[in-house]
Amino acid sequence: MRRCLDSLYRASLVAAALSLLLILGIVLLQVIFNLIDRVMQLSGSTPIGLLIPSYADFAGYLLAAASFLALGGSFRAGAHIRVNMLLRRLPDGARRWAELGCLSMALVVACTATWFFGKLTWGSWRFGDVSPGLVAIPIWLPQSVMTLGLLIFTIAVADEWYCAWRRHQPAYQLAEAAAEQALLERAGGEL
């Protein structure tokens, strides 16, 4: 079960990273197209108007997909910021209850968001909504990827909740501590 969940988070994070790579590719290609046009214009010939159709839409949807697919993995990696100044001062027992409280609220928000985003996606699919650009992209496509990302995020939060309930340290808490440690070691090596 543990390995199964970990590979789920890992896979969605990697998919998000690949989306970023794809975004870079699309934007760079369009920049090169613009350059070719500019050069042709300067050299006196008529620019051919090279264009990746709807590239801004594609990049935007890929970004939304990337951001949401990365939610679960980033959460467990302690990347989502919070003010843990007070939490860190609590003794272990109280800290556990406080973390459980935070995780419970996060779980409620994650469930709500997943449910209503799923409804929105369902609506887009039923009404056949498409993007306004040159290429009519069905918007349920990026939306369903985002719903999937929210679902994985909800699973990650539930996972951490259960972990804290069983009196283990949640992964994000370990990651937060490890990040501080890494910074210290990095400094120690240099000084």
Partner 1 sequence: MDDLLTAVALLALLLLLLGSGLWVAVALTGVGYIGIAAFTSRPAGSILASTVWSSQAEWTLVALPLFIWMGEILFRSRLSGDLFSGLSPWLRRLPGRLLHVNVLGCGLFAAVSGSSAATCATVGKISIPELTKRGYDQRMILGSIAASGTLGLLIPPSIIMIVYGVAAEESIARLFVAGVLPGALVMGLFMAYIAVWSLLHPKKVPPAEPKIPLRARLRALRRLLPVVLLILLVIGTIYGGIASPTDAAAVGVAGALLLTRLAGDLTWAVFRDGLLAATRTSCMIAFILAGAAFLTAAMGYTGIPRHLALWIKEMQLSPFVLLAALTLFFILLGCFLDGISIVVLTTAVILPMVREAGIDSIWFGVYLVLVVEMAQITPPVGFNLFVLQGLTGQGLTNIARAALPFFLLLVLAVGLLMLLPGIATWLPTEMAKH
Nearer to partner 1, 116 or 162 (CB): 116
Contacts with 73 (C-beta within 8 Å, 6 or more apart), sequence order? 9, 10, 12, 13, 16, 156
Q: Which is nearer to partner 1, 1 or 85 (CB)?
A: 85
The residue to which tokens 């939306």 are assigned: 143
CA distance 157 to 77: 12
Residue 1 or 13: which CB sits closer to partner 1? 13
Tokens representing residue 68 in the block: 């949401």
Rounded to a whole number of angstroms, the minimum distance from the CB of residue 95 to partner 1 is: 9
Pair 75, 156: CB distance under 8 Å? yes
Rounded to a whole number of angstroms, the minimum distance from the CB of residue 38 to partner 1 is: 8
Cα 8 from Cα 2, distance rounded (Å): 10
Is the CB of 1 or the CB of 91 nearer to partner 1?
91
Taking the least distance from each CB to partner 1, the nearer of 4 and 83 is: 83
Give min distance, CB of 82 to partner 1, in A.
5
Closest C-alpha among 154, 170, 172, 151 to residue 162: 170
| Smallest separation (angstroms) from partner 1 to the CB of 59 | 5
Taking the complex as a whole, the smallest distance from the CB of residue 155 to partner 1 amounts, in Å, to 16
Residues that bind partner 1 (CB under 8 A): 13, 16-17, 20-21, 23-24, 27-28, 30-31, 34, 56-57, 59-61, 63-64, 66-68, 70-71, 73-75, 77, 79-87, 98-99, 101-102, 105-106, 108-110, 112-113, 115-117, 119-120, 142-143, 146, 180, 183-184, 186-187, 190-191
For the chain, the distance separating the N- and C-terminal CA atoms, rounded to the nearest angstrom, is 43
Work out how close the CB of 166 gets to partner 1 at its nearest, in angstroms, rounded to a whole number: 20
Residue listed under structure tokens 């870079």:
24
Give the nearer residue to partner 1 in terms of CB position, either 34 or 48: 34
- What DSSP string describes 138-157? BTHHHHHHHHHHHHHHHHHH
